[in-house]
Amino acid sequence: MKTIDELLAAGVAGRRVFVRADLNVPLDGTTITDDGRIRAVLPTVKALADAGAKVVVASHLGRPKGAPDPAFSLAPVAARLGELLGTGVAFATDTVGDSARETVAGLRDGQVAVVENLRFNAGETAKDDVERGAFADQLAELADVYVGDGFGAVHRKHASVFDLPARLPHYAGYLIATEVDVLKKLTEDVRRPYVVALGGAKVSDKLAVIDELLGKADRILIGGGMAYTFLKAQGHEVGISLLQEDQVPAVREYIERAEKTGVELVLPVDVLVAGEFPDLKTKAPAHPTTVAADAIPADQEGLDIGPETRKLYASKLADAATVFWNGPMGVFEHPDYAEGTKAVAQALVDSPAFTVVGGGDSAAAVRILGFDENAFGHISTGGGASLEYLEGKTLPGLAALED
């Protein structure tokens, strides 16, 4: 795929450049609680603006139902982008309507505009190719060139990700180029030992990547809510812990495959439990109890890996040459259940390995728990996209950028 450097070398002064970013940041009302995805696209936006382009930034936010919804407006994001750029950023109150056309027409060389949430338009996510293409035609009228830099959305066959690049000269932005380069290091000529730490709530979200990694990783550590389905598959009772009963047979098969292929599959040896889920808003003390992973009481819920598991996982990460981590080890949003996730993050910081944090909640946890992002080899902006790449799937947004 052609990169933004090739575009800049050809000259962009005076040209309208559509940047498909991933600005899907978490909001508390209108307050951005983690601006990592905005900062991730800054190098691309700044390079284009400094070169004299008229930069049109577009993104989705949340899951509106194909119609305007003030709760998912990109207005706070546009304001924050302007703060980070140190310059004013224009904001269009629609995506392809009068406001967008007037805002883009009013841009001078080197200026930046953000258009409203792409998903306020049903055509963005339409399954029908004609409907999606019609929306892409409208977006194409706003620009002369397309730059794809929303890695967190490249696994979606959406109008702005898949259809629009076919209608304009297209290039990969700095973020996408970096993400692809990093993921190649996890799939091609990997430095070993290769250790993968997987957490998060649902094992079903990770089954396909586990299936692929059983033939590639040397060691897989399992934590988070998904760990309880693994413990159940081993024959242990898990109380009222998060459990996907329908996935137990598949997980049992993976445990057997790991034993046969020599992949070390590491599960929790102890967990923190409580009788109810913690209050994440007030952060009221939860008073958890530590129990052995095979002795969870019937009326208790596992909410984090325990102290012995933290030590075990740190030791299993210590000798790695390559590490991929996706998914928290517990309910890290509450201080009483953050230590497991913190322990894995610290083990990555301490490791001399090439370390990749696979987006989503893991990336948020790193920032929320106060870690220096520069202490990791790479923090991905796309959890789902990273997983699908590792599964060997063709990602529509990357395929669209290929020539």
Which residues lie below 8 Å from residue 175, measured CB to CB, with a gap of 6+?
40, 41, 43, 44, 149, 150, 151, 381
Q: Which of 150, 330, 360, 383 is catalytic?
A: 360
Q: Please, which residues bridge with residue 17 across strands?
A: 55, 145
Region of 90 please: left (phi>0), alpha (psi -120 to 50) or beta: beta
Q: In whole angstroms, how large is the CA radius of gyration of the chain?
A: 22
DSSP secondary structure code for residue 379 in this structure: E
- Kindly report the pTM of this predicted structure: 0.89
pLDDT of residue 313: 98
Neighbour-count burial for 302-328, b at 16+ CB within 10 Å, e otherwise = bbbbbeebbebbbebbeebebbbbbbb
Contact 202, 226 (CB under 8 A): yes
Task: Give yes or no for residue 123 having a pLDDT over 90.
Answer: yes
Roughly what angle, to the nearest 10 degrees, separates helices 339-350 and 360-368?
A: 90
Q: Collapse the DSSP code of 146 into the 3-class scheme (helix H, G, I; strand E, B; otherwise coil) and give the result.
A: strand
Contact 220, 398 (CB under 8 A): no
DSSP secondary structure code for residue 168 in this structure: S
Please tell me the distance from the alpha carbon of residue 57 to that of residue 120, in angstroms, as a whole number.
15
Roughly what angle, to the nearest 10 degrees, separates helices 75-85 and 36-50?
A: 60
The count of C-alpha atoms lying within 13 angstroms of the C-alpha of 320, restricted to the half-sphere facing its C-beta, is 32
The CA-based dihedral angle spanning residues 361, 362, 363, 369, taken in that order and rounded to the nearest 10 degrees: 100
pLDDT band of residue 130 (cuts 50, 70, 90) is: very high
* Average pLDDT of span 65-71: 95
Amino acid at 334: H
Contact 37, 167 (CB under 8 A): no
Q: Which of 15, 16, 37, 119 is catalytic?
A: 37
* Average pLDDT of span 273-284: 94
Residue 119 designated active-site: no
Token digits for 113? Answer: 């505009």
pLDDT band of residue 253 (cuts 50, 70, 90) is: very high
* CA 100 to chain centroid: 28
pLDDT of residue 124: 98
Burial class, 102, CB count within 10 angstroms (exposed 0-12 / middle 13-18 / buried 19+): exposed
Please tell me the distance from the alpha carbon of residue 27 to that of residue 399, in angstroms, as a whole number.
31
Task: Give yes or no for residue 383 having a pLDDT over 90.
Answer: no
Quote the percentage of the chain above a pLDDT of 70: 100
Contact 300, 240 (CB under 8 A): yes
Q: 165-213: per-residue pLDDT in tens? A: 999 999 999 999 999 999 999 999 899 999 999 999 888 888 889 999 9
pLDDT of residue 140: 98
Cα end-to-end distance, the chain, whole Å: 6
Nearest to 280 by CA among 40, 33, 13: 33
Q: Which of 148, 173, 199, 384 is catalytic?
A: 384
- Side by side, the strands of the sheet bearing 270-274 are 289-292, 270-274, 301-305
For residue 302, CA distances in Å to 295, 297, 305, 314 come to 11, 10, 8, 20
pLDDT band of residue 273 (cuts 50, 70, 90) is: very high
Residue 167 designated active-site: no
pLDDT of residue 403: 76
Q: Which of 2, 39, 185, 202 is catalytic?
A: 202
Task: Give yes or no for residue 310 having a pLDDT over 90.
Answer: yes
Token digits for 368? Answer: 């929320």
Task: Give yes or no for residue 50 having a pLDDT over 90.
Answer: yes
Task: Give yes or no for residue 311 having a pLDDT over 80.
Answer: yes
Task: Give yes or no for residue 359 having a pLDDT over 80.
Answer: no
Task: Give yes or no for residue 360 having a pLDDT over 80.
Answer: no
Q: Which of 43-57, 237-251, 325-339, 349-363 is the least confident region? A: 349-363
Sequential DSSP letters for 299-338: T-EEEEE-HHHHHHHHHHHHT-SEEEEES-SS-TTSGGG-
Of 299 and 392, the structure prediction assigns the larger pLDDT to: 299
* Average pLDDT of span 122-128: 98
Residue 360 designated active-site: yes
Q: Collapse the DSSP code of 28 into the 3-class scheme (helix H, G, I; strand E, B; otherwise coil) and give the result.
A: strand
pLDDT of residue 382: 85
Residue 46, Cβ neighbours under 10 Å: how many?
17
pLDDT of residue 189: 83
pLDDT of residue 111: 98
Residue with tokens 């027409």: 105
